[in-house]
Amino acid sequence: MRVNVQTPNFAAKNELLVFVEKKLTKLEQFYDRIVFADVFLKVQKTSEKENKIVEILLSIPGDNLIVKKESKSFEAATDEVVRALERQLKKRKRKEKLYLA
């Protein structure tokens, strides 16, 4: 799977980029046909503490999955997004097995 991370309006540390890629590669154990992942890390300009946004577009054959979460840190938001994508991929795999059976 190819991972493309974009960080508009700020420079992300290498540790954050490695963290995001590591989390995304774990998704391949739930669905092995992921083509690529586009990751957008954004900082929303508000006075609230939960101003870090992680949006991931996951490309799989025949469809795209998009999940967007907001949290106090990029790591926490990434964890939430990956959990949501994991649920969606498991659901898709179950549906595929039903169609093939």
CA–CA dist 94, 11 (Å, integer): 39
pTM (2 d.p.): 0.89
Q: Which domain holds residue 88?
A: 2-100
Question: Does residue 99 have a pLDDT over 90?
Answer: no
Q: What is the pLDDT of residue 62?
A: 87
Contact 54, 38 (CB under 8 A): no
Q: What is the pLDDT of residue 101?
A: 63
Q: What is the pLDDT of residue 49?
A: 81
Contact 56, 85 (CB under 8 A): yes
Q: For residue range 5-28, what is the model confidence (pLDDT) as tens digits?
A: 999 888 889 999 999 999 999 999
CATH number (domain holding residue 30): 3.30.160.100
pLDDT class of 46 with cuts at 50, 70, 90: confident
Q: What is the pLDDT of residue 95?
A: 85
Q: For residue range 50-84, what is the model confidence (pLDDT) as tens digits?
A: 899 999 999 999 899 999 999 999 999 999 999 99
How many Cβ atoms are within 10 Å of 50's Cβ, its own excluded? 14
Q: How many domains does the chain have?
A: 1
Distance of CA 45 to the CA centre of its chain: 22
What's the whole-number mean pLDDT along residues 76-93?
94
